[in-house]
């Protein structure tokens, strides 16, 4: 039984893992340049000879305000881009649409800006130039940090379960 619970604990940790990246400007541009089958939008809509980008943002969000002009610059540089933007803080219909797209990709709609390009999802936005002026000594990927913290919490719970401090009662 203990081995079974241990296996279940580890499976739960990795079920929600999906390839998300922090939206660094150079990574977004790289996704645009190297995109395959990007004429298919996240909701299944097909646009001919264009790269479909879904940009979910919120009114008053500073990172969203920074990404909007960047995407316009990319549209000028790569005219084959078709950008669909959706404000999700004050538009309930857009918010529900965002949640549906996130569910389709197997991720949680936990923050904006969120940009979908092909099969890639970018959360947040940082211009490459601003990285050189960053006061941080190092950078940690938020999805990786979440997975690591989840593993630590699961290991603590498993430790207490195996030591008998957490009792699970099963009625048959």
Find all residues with CB under 8 Å of 97, minimum gap 6, and list them. Answer: 43, 86
Superfamily holding 2-128+138-162: Glutaredoxin (3.40.30.10)
What pLDDT shows up at residue 128? 74
What pLDDT shows up at residue 167? 65
**pLDDT tens by residue, 109-122:** 889 999 999 889 99
The pLDDT of 140-158, averaged and rounded, is 78
CB 82 within 8 A of CB 52: yes
């Amino acid at each position: 039984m203990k081995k079974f619970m241990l296996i279940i604990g580890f499976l739960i940790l990795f079920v929600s893992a999906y390839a998300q990246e922090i939206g660094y400007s150079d990574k977004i541009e790289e996704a645009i340049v190297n995109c395959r089958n990007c004429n298919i939008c996240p909701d299944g809509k097909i646009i001919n000879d264009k790269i479909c980008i879904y940009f979910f943002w919120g009114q008053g969000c500073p990172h969203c305000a920074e990404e909007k002009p960047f995407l316009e610059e990319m549209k000028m540089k790569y005219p084959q881009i078709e950008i669909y933007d959706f404000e999700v803080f004050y538009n309930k219909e857009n918010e529900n649409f965002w949640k549906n797209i996130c569910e389709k990709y197997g991720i949680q709609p936990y923050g904006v800006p969120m940009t979908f390009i092909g099969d890639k999802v970018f959360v947040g936005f940082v211009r490459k130039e601003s990285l050189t002026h960053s006061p941080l000594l190092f950078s940690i990927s938020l999805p990786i940090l979440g997975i690591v913290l989840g593993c630590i919490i699961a290991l603590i719970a498993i430790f207490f379960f195996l030591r008998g401090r957490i009792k699970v009662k099963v009625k048959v």
